[in-house]
């Protein structure tokens, strides 16, 4: 999910301030094969089961279920694209271990480049945005339980549709932005030492970081308010206490996914990109961020395996609340 070079095949320019700061990251081909294979198997099984349960159960058609269905669908977009990516990295690893040591490119073409980037961003930022929708849904359920209009089924469907439109727009615009600046026969490769390409790379970086930071702020605000409200409702009935415990579990799990999968990736992406374009001429930072980038990318991709567990922990909330939100809706 690199902003400037998806395949890492572009050689550094001699004029780059980091041209002498090299690092062997050939291990990434094996790492991607292993990690994506595990993610594919787990993600396909867990998301298929969650999506089937959400779609077939007649008792869970409410706002929470709408966001969970959208979250599972976004994860499946990424999961179904993994076999092609695993095959791509398998060819790369084979070429690396060959006697010639050459790395012939797989001529997948511009369509593959655009499709790969689009699906990856759909999964990553679809996951982020729908996790935030779940957070805001919990916020209104706990902090403003009487505001049932904002949690009605129709509103959740409109919000979910708007999020899909936003995610698809973002996911398509980034590959097109790269393609407009790339070489004619290398649509996925950008030269970070080129001033024109630097502008494109930094614009894409700003768009990506903004798509993470704004939802993260909204999520943290919502959950801080929810935690404050739950502390004030500590002395309630046993059934309400159980519901609050489930809400806290969902909160901690969503925050855990953000802190484990998304935050490290975006922090490393910032340092990785700034060093590659030459704005930070620090060889140590460049080596560290480049070395751990495949690990951070694999970790971010693993969110599609963890998200279905959020449904598992929130299933009691989904089943207990009446469709339409706030306990006032009707089927």
Query: What separation in angstroms does the CA of 232 have from each of 226, 227, 299, 304, 326?
Result: 10, 9, 36, 34, 19
Query: What is the share, in percent, of the chain residues with pLDDT greater than 90?
Result: 18
- pLDDT in the model for residue 38: 95
* Residue 321 pLDDT exceeds 60: no
Higher pLDDT pick, 247 / 18: 247
The length of the chain in residues reads 331
- pLDDT in the model for residue 89: 82
Give the C-alpha separation, 96 to 99, whole Å. Answer: 8
Higher pLDDT pick, 132 / 58: 132
Average pLDDT in the 14-27 region?
A: 67
Ordered by where they begin, the domains of the chain are 27-320 (1.20.1070.10)
Give the C-alpha separation, 267 to 296, whole Å. Answer: 10
- The pLDDT confidence band at residue 302, using thresholds 50, 70 and 90, is very high
Average pLDDT in the 33-57 region?
A: 86
- The pLDDT confidence band at residue 94, using thresholds 50, 70 and 90, is confident
DSSP letter string, 134-162: HHHHHHHHHT-TT-GGGGSHHHHHHHHHH
Computed over every residue of the chain, the mean pLDDT equals 76
Average pLDDT in the 113-118 region?
A: 74
pLDDT tens-digit map of 240-265: 555 567 777 778 888 888 889 999 99
Average pLDDT in the 155-182 region?
A: 80
- pLDDT in the model for residue 148: 64
- pLDDT in the model for residue 296: 93
- pLDDT in the model for residue 243: 56
Whose CA is closest to 199, among 9, 3, 7, 2?
3
Higher pLDDT pick, 65 / 269: 269
Give the C-alpha separation, 168 to 125, whole Å. Answer: 10
Please report where in the chains the tokens 């599972």 appear, as a residue: 72
* Residue 98 pLDDT exceeds 70: no
**Contact yes or no for 148/99 (Cβ under 8 A):** no
Please report where in the chains the tokens 């549709």 appear, as a residue: 161
Whose CA is closest to 70, among 119, 126, 138?
126
Give the C-alpha separation, 59 to 145, whole Å. Answer: 20
Please report where in the chains the tokens 């001699």 appear, as a residue: 14
- The pLDDT confidence band at residue 109, using thresholds 50, 70 and 90, is low
Please report where in the chains the tokens 């320019």 appear, as a residue: 13
**What count of other Cβ atoms lies within 10 Å of the Cβ of residue 331?**
10
- pLDDT in the model for residue 13: 46
- pLDDT in the model for residue 12: 45
Give the C-alpha separation, 74 to 131, whole Å. Answer: 11
Higher pLDDT pick, 225 / 147: 225
Higher pLDDT pick, 230 / 323: 230
**What count of other Cβ atoms lies within 10 Å of the Cβ of residue 46?**
21
Worst-scoring range by mean pLDDT, 91-95, 199-203, 243-247? 243-247
* Residue 322 pLDDT exceeds 60: no
């Amino acid at each position: 999910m690199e902003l400037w070079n998806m395949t890492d095949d572009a050689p550094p320019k001699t004029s780059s301030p980091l041209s002498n700061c090299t690092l062997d990251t050939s291990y990434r081909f094996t790492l991607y094969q292993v990690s994506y294979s595990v993610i594919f198997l787990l993600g396909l099984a867990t998301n298929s089961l969650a999506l089937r349960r959400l779609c077939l159960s007649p008792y869970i058609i409410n706002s929470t279920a709408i966001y969970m269905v959208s979250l599972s669908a976004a994860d499946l977009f990424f999961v179904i694209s993994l076999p092609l990516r695993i095959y791509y990295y398998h060819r790369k690893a084979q070429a690396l271990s060959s006697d010639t040591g050459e790395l012939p490119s797989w001529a997948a073409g511009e369509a593959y480049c655009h499709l790969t980037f689009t699906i990856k961003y759909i999964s990553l930022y679809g996951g982020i945005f729908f996790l935030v929708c779940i957070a805001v849904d919990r916020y209104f359920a706990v902090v403003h339980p009487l505001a049932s209009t904002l949690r009605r089924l129709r509103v959740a469907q409109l919000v979910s549709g708007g999020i899909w439109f936003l995610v698809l727009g973002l996911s398509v615009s980034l590959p097109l932005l790269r393609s407009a600046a790339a070489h004619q026969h290398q649509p996925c490769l950008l030269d970070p030492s080129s001033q024109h390409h630097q502008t494109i790379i930094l614009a894409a970086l700003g768009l990506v970081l903004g798509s993470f930071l704004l939802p993260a702020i909204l999520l943290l605000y919502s959950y801080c308010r929810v935690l404050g409200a739950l502390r004030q409702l500590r002395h309630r009935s046993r059934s309400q206490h159980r519901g609050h415990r489930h809400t806290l579990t969902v909160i901690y799990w969503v925050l855990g996914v953000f802190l484990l999968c998304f935050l490290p990736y975006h922090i490393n992406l910032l340092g990785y990109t700034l060093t590659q374009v030459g704005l930070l001429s620090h060889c140590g930072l460049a080596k560290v961020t480049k070395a751990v980038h495949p690990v951070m990318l694999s970790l971010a991709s693993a969110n599609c395996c963890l998200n279905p567990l959020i449904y598992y922990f929130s299933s009691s909330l989904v089943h207990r609340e009446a469709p339409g939100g706030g306990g006032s809706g009707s089927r």
